[in-house]
Structure 1
């Protein structure tokens, strides 16, 4: 398992394909705060709840200077269906080889229904304007996470 990130660490840069056929590079967002969240699979109940919560909060988060990137191992085509099906406004990125997830400590052993399995660890990393980690949360809950994150960031 990759090491988890902590506040003060430099956020690993990445360039990933998005659901619209383009690419997004983290370092291109310097000067803005970025919430990078990792989720296991598009169009599953928990991941849908979390993505909808981020989308519903997107205007207020952007008003506070934050951009939101959701990363999963899904192919861009599936992410496009996810966006369309649920009316998502956040940027969805594809990490099929899980290299970015591993760099962020968001892939590895986790407990699923009492068994230890290897997979995506639902995680959120907040990157400041200079590319430094300001907050890193691992094994987050899908439901209520955005509200908790807003409190942790002092936005409520």
Structure 2
């Protein structure tokens, strides 16, 4: 959990857009591993295995009775330093706009884009996590990039 806990939480957040859900899902992921430590078969990396478990927990969580249609999302903030207050404000605005574009994508596109761009997983690893073919992953990744660019440039919202 110390090594991969933050990545699991980030992935859960990217899939759900809710910080409290990401907290619950991350806890559920590591509880499942604690209860059944021998489920790792070594067919993938530990990280890929954790992302697959996280994805399954997200889908289970979404199926639960308290899921709501309305999603209120705060902005994802960049914590880096900038040489001046003005350049820091501009950088934060730029980063916020990009994250808003990514978070506005439908879940199926947002997921593959995050796994590729943020976690730098290979197409095969993404296919293993999502249960999709490599061709479908390539297609969704291409569409995700195009749609995110459209949203960022023109404010088009797909969800």
Q: TM-score range, shorter-chain basis?
A: under 0.3
As a proportion of its length, which structure holds more helix? 2
TM-score normalised over the length of structure 1 = 0.25
TM-score normalised by the chain length of structure 2 = 0.25
Greater strand proportion: 1
- In our comparison, the structure showing a higher alpha carbon Rg is 2
